[in-house]
Structures are given as C-alpha cells and as structure tokens.
Amino acid sequence: MIPRFLRNTSAIAAAAAVLLVTTSGATAAATCDPAGPKPLDQAHAHNDYEHDRPLFDALDHGFGSVEADVWLVDGELLVAHDAGDVDPERTLQSLYLDPLSQIVADNGGAVYPDWDGSLQLLIDIKSDGEDTYRAIDKVLTKYADIMTRFADGDVESNAVTAVISGNRPRDVMEDQKVRYAGYDGRLSDLGTDTPADFMPLVSDNWGKNFSWNGDGEMPADQRDKLRDIVTQAHESGYQVRFWATPDEAGANREAVWRELVEAEVDYLNTDDLAGLRDFLVDDISSLPLYWPLCQTPTHSNCVTVDCFGPTRPAIAPNAARRS
C-alpha cells in the first residue's frame, strides 16, 4: 500500500493510469475487493450520533473516526449533543461499544475486513469531566478485548481506539497506570513535551486559528502556519484534527479540505458523510493515500477507480437490525 503521507507526482500518475484504464473501455488490471468500503483513515464523523444510523452510516462510508458526545445521567453514559436531548436508550454502549464488539468479532479482529488500522472513537465529555470520565473508564474496561490499551508508556493498538475530548480530566488520566483511552490535546499543548502515548491527538477550532474559509487562495502565511502546526505535531507523534471547518457543500469547503489534505492533517471533520467520502475518492491527488491501487490481476485486496461510488457494498448487510 502506498504510504499515507506520500505526496508526489508518481503517486498522482499511478492514480491517473488506473483512471485511464477503467474509463477507456479496456480491461481493468484487477477487480474490486467486494468485502465492503475501503476505510478512509482521514474521515471523521462529527456528531456521528445525529445520523439515522449512528456508527453504521459512518462505517458504510468507510470512515476511520466517529464522534460521540456523552452525558453522565443517573450513572448512565447517554449520547446526545444537548442535555435536554438525552434518551436512556441511547447509551455509549448501545450505540457504539456493543455494535463495535460484534463487528470486530465478525471481521476477525478488525472493524473493516482485512484492515490493519484502528477506528478512532472520539468521546466528547459534555457533563462533569472527572465523574463522567471515571464512568467511561469503567465501561471501556469491559470492552478491553477490542480497545487500544495505554499502559506505562506503551500503546497496545487494537481494533478501536478511544480518545477523550471535551471536559477532559487531565490529572485523573495522567495518574492512571492503565487506560483504555487517550487524551485529546489542543494546539496550546504543542511544544509541552506531552508524550504521544498519553496524547495521541491534538484538536482545535479552525476559525479561532485561521481566518481563511476557502474563499480564494489560502493566504501564504496561513498555509505556512497550518503546515508548521502539522509538522510540529507529527514530530511529537501526535495526529491533528480541526473542528468547525466550513461544512456547507461547495467550492469553499472543498478548498479547505484540499489544503488540509495537502498539509497532511490526519482527520477531516464533517457532518456530511457522503460529501467527504466523495471528495476523498474523486480527488485524484489524494486517491492513492487511502486505497491500495491494483498492481496485478491476482491482487485481491485492491480497487480500481470504477469500484468507487454509492453502489459499493455496505460493511454489514444486517447493520440496520443491529443499530
């Protein structure tokens, strides 16, 4: 597979060659892997629980990260954006952890078939940070067989990696010898020597750091700032995400997304699952970053350009019954 951060003309040429073969009427070099959508590591489903089928809609679009806002109410971890919208039947376990446990079991230890990645479960704490985190920690321990484990400076990667955002009780998390969740930092945490095994992710508000919203060219000083942020984060072992990027369909959103991809930002934030999926698939410059391209007629775990689109098989045919 072409490395995720490879950005050169040979990668673009390879993608263009596949496109030429599949659109010229000639026989493609290889066929699709029919197992399901290929995972888009950079795709983050913001407020995932607001979709018709929480988790499953994101997985059907190949997303590599989903976000759940959580409130602690009467000892239960309820998923909702606002306190007034909580529903006792919509728990962190019922919407995410239980389905993921079943999916991982069905797929032989991975969220997507034959995927060596880890699905990020970003848990945004909305209620009191310490009490809510302690409840989350207790619950995640019950799903230890699928969760990435953070222990004594080591990270044991697993099918699902939880990261705590929102009201984060940093002191409580740092005092733990064993955790099943990482800490979501902020840009202000860059340069503080916080270890990546504690803080695997750094997230921040796009509008509070950049004035450019996709209209016209990105100012050179802001482009340099973005790339400096990503470089500094990656040198420390952190991944990067921005929330509140433009998300209304159109040229401005695509311009911002393209700058984020070019800068090697790790997660693109959206409420529009199909919109981001189509952007990542259709943008010829980013195509090789997400799917292994077909190399030989017998290479089964690859795709050609004509495999993409809304007719691709869903990850789980019985997903509707499990959601």
Tokens 């099918």 sit at which residue?
159
What's the pLDDT score for residue 294?
37
CA neighbor of 55 nearest in space, from 36, 68, 72: 68
What's the pLDDT score for residue 283?
63
Residue positions counted in the chain: 323
Q: Digits of tens for pLDDT over the chain (323 positions)?
A: 333 333 333 333 334 433 433 333 333 333 334 456 789 999 999 999 999 999 999 999 999 999 999 999 999 999 999 999 999 999 999 999 999 999 999 999 999 999 999 999 999 999 999 999 999 999 999 999 999 999 989 999 999 999 999 999 999 999 999 999 999 999 999 999 999 999 999 999 999 999 999 999 999 999 999 999 999 999 999 999 999 999 999 999 999 999 999 999 999 999 999 999 999 997 644 443 433 443 333 333 333 333 333 333 333 323 332 22
What's the pLDDT score for residue 282?
79
Burial of 147 per CB tally in 10 Å (0-12, 13-18, 19+): buried
Please give the Cα distance from 180 to 164 (Å, whole number): 10
DSSP labels, 183-220 = EEE-GGGTTS---TTT--EEEEEHHHH----SSSSPPH
Q: Is the pTM of this model over 0.75?
A: yes
Contacts with 76 (C-beta within 8 Å, 6 or more apart), sequence order: 88, 91
What's the pLDDT score for residue 36?
66
Tokens 């990668």 sit at which residue?
11
CA 140 to each of CA 73, 100, 143, 182, 212: distance values in angstroms, whole numbers, following the listed order: 17, 12, 5, 12, 39
Tokens 């190949």 sit at which residue?
62
In the chain, what are the domains?
Answer: 1-35+291-308 (no CATH), 39-290 (3.20.20.190)
